[in-house]
Structure 1
Amino acid sequence: MPKYRSATTTHGRNMAGARALWRATGMTDADFGKPIIAVVNSFTQFVPGHVHLRDLGKLVAEQIEAAGGVAKEFNPLRWMMGLPWATGGCFIHCHLAN
């Protein structure tokens, strides 16, 4: 079995707490030997233009799992999205991939 970077949280005594959190998301013992792949999805019910991304994120996760991986989906950071406009654009460099 190849050694994945995620092995720091999926194996060994030191990260038993991290594994407990992984298990709370539905991971099984068999999942800990698979690659864990993050799916960054900007789906939100608050932005009408992003609603279609829910299904796209599910499709990507299904394909990762069909290929033998474990997909974990999360949203990108949004806390600064309105900042460039609220400040007259002086912090536009903070507006990242959103």
Structure 2
Amino acid sequence: MRSDIITKGVNAAPQRSLLYALGLTEEEMKRPFIGIVSSKNDIVPGHMNLDKIVEAVKQGVSMAGGVPIVFPAIAVCDGIAMGHEGMKYSLVTRELIADSTEAMATAHPFDGLVMVPNCDKNVPGLLMAAA
């Protein structure tokens, strides 16, 4: 598994200590780490309920024997960003989402990812990260 580099061996002791600080158990460190990328936030109306989907995904990952680990993806609401300087930032968020997801997935070697987006920026951004 990709996560073995941070969970197994003497060289991974510092990483394990941080994983223990997160509350992970020895048993959990033997399972696949599944990153769950969530676009949930409180400023984009279409993302308000994504936390419920993320909770269901976490349960599914656990039931399948994995360790769910949630991290965020940014999201800009085009409707709120329209008509002022904020609109300049909307389209470029695709690359920010892709790059930040890739950074998280590589820096914390997840064994798999589940992506929970909702909009015309987050879906392509996360698909770009997956590619």
The alignment covers a number of residue pairs equal to: 90
Structure 1 outlier segments of 4+, above 3 Å: 81-84
Deviation by residue 1:43-95 (Cα, 9 ceiling, x = unmatched): 1123222111001001001000001110001112559x9787237x8xx4x33
Aligned counterparts, 1:18-37, within 5 A: 18-37=15-34
- Report what 1:11 is aligned to: 8
SS at 1:8 equivalent: helix
Please give the TM-score of this superposition, normalised by the length of structure 1: 0.76
Over aligned residues, Cα RMSD in angstroms? 2.5
Contact 2:40 2:51 in 1 (8 A): yes
Q: Which runs of 5+ in 2 are unaligned?
A: 95-120, 123-131
Name the % identity: 30
Mapped contact 1:84–1:95 kept (Cα < 8 A): no
Determine helix, strand or coil for the equivalent of 1:73. Answer: strand
Q: Does 1:86 align with 2:88?
A: yes
Residue 95 of structure 1: aligned partner:
93
Bigger helix fraction: 2
In terms of Rg, which structure is larger? 1
Unaligned runs of 5+ in 1: none
Q: Does 1:48 align with 2:22?
A: no
SS in structure 2 opposite 1:46? coil
| Cα distance in 2 for residues equivalent to 1:38 and 1:71 | 6
| Aligned mates of 2:17, 2:51 — CA distance in 1 | 27
After TM superposition, the structure 1 = structure 2 runs for residues 38-77 of structure 1, keeping only pairs within 5 Å, are: 38-77=35-74
